[in-house]
Amino acid sequence: MRFDVITLFPELFAPFLTCGVTRRAYESGLVDVRLWNPRDFADGRYRRVDDRPFGGGPGMVMLAEPLTLCLESIRADRAALGAPDAPTVLFSPVGEVLNHAGVERWSGSSCGAVLICGRYEGLDQRFIETHVDLQVSLGDFVLSGGEIAAMALLDAVARLQPGVLNDEASHQMDSFNPALDGLLDCPHYTRPEAWRGQAVPPILMSGNHAHIERWRRDQRLALTQRERPELVRAARRAGQLSMGDEAFLADLPKNPEPDA
């Protein structure tokens, strides 16, 4: 799949695309990332891409014309290479918050997207209304630009591609995954068995895999109920909680904490 990223700072993506396990997705072309700078499509000696907002107020607003010319060039390039049409996505507080289900949809997409990384006070609203198909948010906070949000989406999509992770099944045990019924993942431990007076839970050393899996399920339930109870309610509505799960939750105040 192909992602075209419109950004005033393409250099920010250089280390991101060449480091870590997800680089396999980019190097192999499983996730084809192409960077476009709207400044290359701006007029004038200084290739200006922003101006003061009408009506006054602080900050600057990104101009519609350089963004439009950049987007038109992307669409022409896609068409010349036979790439499918793709939605234009703006990272914005207005958008729907990105979650695991959304990442899975992007991961299974054949067309990818055009990702717009806004800066300053935002984009001219006329460009948004004319060209943006979807707005996406990472949460109820504001970043200095959309580049980090674009990297977050690309990273989440890349790690779900076949062959990217060392163990292709490992992402199925991630928090929010349907394989875990949308719950948070359980705590994990590794060597040494005792670290600064803290021991690994004995059940993990027992070798009894059935008991270990039950313990892990219980810890997922306990952690999710404590930190994200709405995820437990969603799993219950979907019929994903067993009688054993419900019994554990009903008795939860008497159960040990996840690190016990």
Catalytically active residues, by annotation: 93, 121, 159, 174
- Cα torsion angle, 229, 230, 235, 236, sign: positive
E runs forming strands in the chain: 2-6, 32-36, 50-51, 61-62, 88-97, 113-116, 134-137, 194-195, 198-199
Token digits of residue 28: 């192999």
Peptide bond connecting 10 to the previous residue in cis, omega within 30 degrees of 0: no
- The helix/strand/coil state of 126 is helix
Query: Mutual orientation of helices 243-250 and 209-227 as an angle, nearest 10°?
Result: 50
Place of tokens 């990818």: 112
Contact between residue 153 and residue 98 where contact means Cβ atoms under 8 Å apart: yes
3-state secondary structure 25-72: HHHHCCCEEEEECHHHHCCCCCCCCEECCCCCCCCCEECHHHHHHHHH
Q: What residues pair up with 145 in beta bridges, in sequence order?
A: 119
Nearest of 179, 176, 182, 174 to residue 235 by alpha carbon: 182
Quick check: 50 and 60 in contact, CB under 8 A?
Answer: yes
